[in-house]
Structure 1
């Protein structure tokens, strides 16, 4: 069989051209859902409480802020959530961070650079951005977190951004969204595609399971497309577009991305309908308050890293990659062993595969360094055949699922002995199970019986207590009456005779039975001792047990 391998080339080491395309600014004026009011201090009270702990703003600074159209609520302040600071450390556990070139080390010289507020404000104003880059003490706190307290992590992220940002930029440009949104994964996951939050959010863009499925991301035992840099980026862009249609304000969109639109709507409602992020700041969940300030701080830090002696740490991501589309089951070990590529590198380039396996139920992407692509194509037959039986065993798989009599290896019960019973005329699955004191479901499982269909002469496996092996082995020599006697029952036909009314008619040596609602071949056979369901089907030339219909007349011949 000739395999189809599609090769869309994606060169990831090249800086892609960035164009600023304004998104559709049409705002949805729908009424925000009513939220239950909670007991919270008023915004004015919060400002006063905050201001008591802060130095008084000098008149020159305040005049500068007003002159540059900067929000005069400069005294807004808040401590940085410890969880946000600690989450940056998770990036260090990745393979490609542990193998970073040591020559790209953090420069300690002049790491703490004292800057006036006006410097920060002018620098933020100089950044070309469709998103408002406000400045206040909260933003300043996050800038100092990045530029002073978490310098090493920032340099790692800057190195990784050389690989991931071109992906984000191309998708944002294609969808007409601001390029600055490429910094969101910095805040969400610290550019760790395998990041998993305590709440269950996963991937670069931190999608929850439900939201990921809503935006058509494939999530199963083998694949989690929330970790796929390209597919998750498209899903994130769709989500951001949907949120912008609701709010028409990028600060609120970014906040909603983190805590959900429900919490943003509650904050707006509790603030008297205000739709400025800084007006609803203290009404948002605590973990979300610092989300927009951290986003602004990330943009500042990445644009002015040299001014703070921050430099990218080179990662081991390849400069250029190709993407192959694979439509056959494949294990990373097969690729690694044949073309000599480290399996860890395969995992880092393809983080969406949970078990190192491409399932093969459809075409899946496999990203490889450019120098390994031609080797894969040349050796693809060897790759797919390498230890195939070991990685993808076919022992327990049904070759033809439509074959109802296909054998399969069942699990034998412990401490039980195996007995073979040969089916005789008049036998039924339920009767055999009762004679051997086993469950009908177990008898069907041991013998792969479907719809209770058995044949005369068929050998059935039955597991019985070892102490009664000789007793049950004698059942092959017993007739129907003797086997019924072991249950304390006679082979009397009184019960069947009482039911022979208008639904049953005798015609010489045959009985004609009219099918009623709820009947099947097994229940009908039970009414006539000595007759099996297979006998009824054979006598009436019926091959499909599911074809039985109410009102249908069946010819039955009693067996002696």
Structure 2
């Protein structure tokens, strides 16, 4: 049971705890906890924080129930322009941070040593309260590559339309919503505009999360009240915990030692330099001639979506460790010319990535011509690559193939010698045996084992066969084994609606048609 609040502390509560029916089960939103959990396993956190080697201070943490008066006194001691209200919901978020998600909080504290100075400088320039630096903790758990289910991106979780409204560039190569500096300036402008509307920081924070339209609607439905706690239940469900979480984050970072929480050491460089790039570059080119790795370039420059700096119309910034800046300047000509034809086409124009798996713009190999091969049943990436005398990795790269997944009927682009275009085009009309013969190999068609097909007679006298599903089977390949039977006939006969539900060893009833 939660300890009672001392009478002399009740004046600090911004709500009447008797008049409001708090639903503690609903106070912490699932998506908020999910964002914290994802942080631990995120690629970004795994690489930005020394998670394995970390050995924190030898402080034994003892889970204890603090009196409400302790939390209230501590919140009162924090210099803040915000109303740091306290109630059971705020307490619930404080306990989430200090008790149930301790590892995540220590990860965020470690990353805050890199990001908070950036936020603080920009907030100071824009004349905004320094406490707003805690907003990205609630929005993204300090992960610049965070992407919400609604499509909000970056540290400050800008939606596409809001980002464009505040001049953030978003295209196939650049997403400035992920740029810590540009997104922070945009967030500061957005927050200033919201403060002009409300003149009330809790409402500003709520509007930042759910939009001013939803806050205005909540104000109207509550009879014009403009206190956050008065409109709490009029706000969207996912926004109700936003201000309590903000207060809890501010508390947890200010009183982390009292709860045995300490920052995980981060791997960001202590000093960075920013270079202005005026030619398109790939991170691989930079890593080849400087001490900085491609992985570190990604950590410091999360705004570049495809490892490419698309500086062919205007300059773009590149953040590098200070010791790598001079190496870049000394080797700039070598960097820009290194494998330029490989990463960019001959006309110096970028090719848009075709999907999220492609790591760089692909170009046609020199002296090669493109032909298309239509995938047939039983084909595999390695097999096709052997027929066309190319590497499987190249075939995957040219066609954006992920995990060797190809489908029957798919047209695959293959780059072959120009002198052999007609020969390789003929592969589309060749049988499997003929294609294998080009490699000097014989192909023997697989013969079904007798045990895969069983014959029986149903009660109505009809003849059926039962087919045992084998590895790599699907409804289409099975139907081909039985003339006059379609894949849909098999599914209907066995009352199956999901075409992907087959399991090895499963028996399928198939009725022979006369």
If the length of structure 2 is used for normalisation, what is the TM-score? 0.64
Q: 2:294 aligns with which of 343, 354, 368?
A: 343
Matched residue, 2:50: 100
Where in structure 2 are the equivalents of 1:372-383 lying within 5 Å?
372-383=324-335
Matched residue, 1:328: 279
Post-superposition offset of 1:194: 0.2
Q: 2:34 aligns with which of 86, 91, 109?
A: 86
Q: 1:273 to 1:315 in 2, by over 3 A?
A: same
Matched residue, 1:242: 193
Q: 1:155 to 1:271 in 2, by over 3 A?
A: same
Matched residue, 2:237: 286
Post-superposition offset of 1:397: 6.6
Post-superposition offset of 1:260: 0.7
Matched residue, 1:165: 116
Q: 1:185 aligns with which of 116, 129, 136?
A: 136
Q: 1:124 to 1:156 in 2, by over 3 A?
A: same
Q: Is the 8 A contact 1:65 1:72 kept in 2?
A: no
Post-superposition offset of 1:410: 10
CA distance in 1, matches of 2:280, 2:67: 59
CA distance in 1, matches of 2:251, 2:218: 27
Post-superposition offset of 1:63: 2.3
Matched residue, 1:3: none
Q: 2:68 aligns with which of 113, 117, 135?
A: 117
Post-superposition offset of 1:90: 1.8
Q: Is the 8 A contact 1:91 1:153 kept in 2?
A: yes
CA distance in 1, matches of 2:122, 2:21: 35
Q: Is the 8 A contact 2:289 2:327 kept in 1?
A: no
CA distance in 2, matches of 1:129, 1:359: 42
Matched residue, 2:228: 277
CA distance in 1, matches of 2:99, 2:316: 42
Aligned residues: 350
Deviations 1:417-469 (A, max 9, x none): xxxxxxxxxxxxxxxxxxxxxxxxxxxxxxxxxxxxxxxxxxxxxxxxx9xxx
Deviations 1:226-261 (A, max 9, x none): 000000000001110111111111000000010111
Q: Structure 1: 5+ residue runs without aligned partners?
A: 1-53, 399-408, 416-465, 467-560
Secondary structure at 1:367 match in 2 = strand
The range that moved more, 381-390 or 202-211, is: 381-390
CA distance in 2, matches of 1:295, 1:167: 19
Matched residue, 1:391: 343
Q: 1:187 to 1:304 in 2, by over 3 A?
A: same
Post-superposition offset of 1:115: 1.1
Matched residue, 1:66: 10
Q: 1:359 aligns with which of 276, 292, 310?
A: 310
Post-superposition offset of 1:68: 4.1
Q: 2:180 aligns with which of 216, 220, 229?
A: 229
Where in structure 2 are the equivalents of 1:449-464 lying within 5 Å?
none
CA distance in 1, matches of 2:56, 2:127: 37
Deviations 1:74-104 (A, max 9, x none): 7663331222112112222134534515233
Residues 1:256 and 2:207 aligned together: yes
Residues 1:141 and 2:85 aligned together: no
CA distance in 2, matches of 1:273, 1:73: 21
Residues 1:127 and 2:78 aligned together: yes
Q: 1:397 to 1:169 in 2, by over 3 A?
A: closer
Matched residue, 2:149: 198
Secondary structure at 1:313 match in 2 = coil
Structure showing greater radius of gyration is 1
Matched residue, 1:304: 255
RMSD between aligned residues: 2.5
Secondary structure at 1:263 match in 2 = helix
Q: Is the 8 A contact 1:111 1:148 kept in 2?
A: no
Q: 1:283 to 1:95 in 2, by over 3 A?
A: closer
If the length of structure 1 is used for normalisation, what is the TM-score? 0.59
Q: Is the 8 A contact 1:107 1:309 kept in 2?
A: no
Where in structure 2 are the equivalents of 1:148-159 lying within 5 Å?
148-159=99-110
CA distance in 1, matches of 2:197, 2:209: 15
CA distance in 1, matches of 2:214, 2:15: 24
Secondary structure at 1:277 match in 2 = coil
Secondary structure at 2:275 match in 1 = strand
Matched residue, 1:509: none
Q: 1:369 to 1:96 in 2, by over 3 A?
A: farther
Q: Structure 2: 5+ residue runs without aligned partners?
A: 351-367, 375-425, 427-514
Q: Is the 8 A contact 1:89 1:153 kept in 2?
A: yes
Residues 1:210 and 2:161 aligned together: yes
